[in-house]
Amino acid sequence: MTTTRYRHALLRRPGANFADGITTAGLGRPDFALALRQHQAYEQALRQLGLEVRVLEADPRFPDGCFVEDTAIVTERVAVLARPGDPSRLGEQEAILPHLLDASLPIERVQAPARLDGGDVMRVGDHFHIGLSGRTDAEGARQLAEILARHGYTSSTVEVRGVLHLKTGVTHLGGRDFIGLDSFAPQLAHERFVRLAPGEEYAANTLEVNGTCLIPKGFPQARQALEALGLDLLEIEMSEFRKMDGGLTCLSLLF
């Protein structure tokens, strides 16, 4: 199994109305100034890992706009414009389109009335797991699967229950390693699956970048388990994005 190598990252800064976005976390209102500092630290971590990072200014029309992952699925062969599952986010994908055109890739799109969030799409080599969740429906998954197949990729669907997105509950660590909630282990059936301790479920959302795993700060058992696998780790403070149901993968489009 190959691991995707990334060269570019596309980010969007949180806006002053960041706290008006969608959330079910119940962790209180985010501190905007702290969110900006955490976003800058995230940006610097990606630069440290050798990526060319482009940071877009906040779009005041979309409080959730910093969660750019949900707007598109970008590969080395095609960029697919998603169609966010919450009506308040429709339009974010159009705002990101001009910046995807700069990547000089063929552009395809998920068509209405289908719904698909990028947070429900997990790439493992040339295979894509597509989560069926409250934000991504069967039609969205079907359209994405057909697009990916036209460009030489395979895909399969995964039932998502109890969490917002597929990658809220499980992420790929590289190779044959995954981290996540117990409920996802049987559906993936890969060789090594790091199961999270109670209270550390948020650490399911990690971000593997060219051999280094970004993990949220404050989850010592998850960190210990990943260190035991011999993985290179980089801890990132994510407290303010967690308050808005966001995680590490949410904040960037990597390609």
Residue 38 covered by a domain: yes
CA distance 62 to 120: 20
Q: Show the 3-state SS of 137-195.
A: CHHHHHHHHHHHHHCCCEEEEEECCCCCCHHHHEEEEECCEEEECHHHHHHHCCCEEEE
Strands (E), the chain: 8-12, 52-56, 72-74, 79-81, 107-109, 121-124, 127-132, 154-159, 170-174, 177-180, 192-195, 207-209, 212-216, 232-236, 253-254
The reply to whether 151 belongs to the active site is: no
Identify the active-site residue in 165, 172, 190, 213.
Answer: 165
Residue 163 covered by a domain: yes
* Count of domains forming the chain: 1
Residue 73 covered by a domain: yes
- Output the pLDDT for position 202: 98
Domain membership of residue 168 as a residue range: 8-254
Residue 47 covered by a domain: yes
Q: What mean pLDDT comes out for the span 151-163?
A: 97
pLDDT tens digits, residue range 19-67?
Answer: 999 999 999 999 999 999 999 999 999 999 999 999 999 999 999 999 9
Distances (CA, A) of 117 to 81, 127, 134, 153, 166: 10, 17, 10, 19, 10
The reply to whether 250 belongs to the active site is: yes
pLDDT tens digits, residue range 80-124?
Answer: 999 999 999 999 999 999 999 888 899 999 999 999 999 999 999
Residue 123 covered by a domain: yes
Total-model pTM: 0.96
Residue 250 covered by a domain: yes
CATH number of the domain residue 25 falls in? 3.75.10.10
Residue 3 covered by a domain: no
- Output the pLDDT for position 105: 93
Residue 1 covered by a domain: no
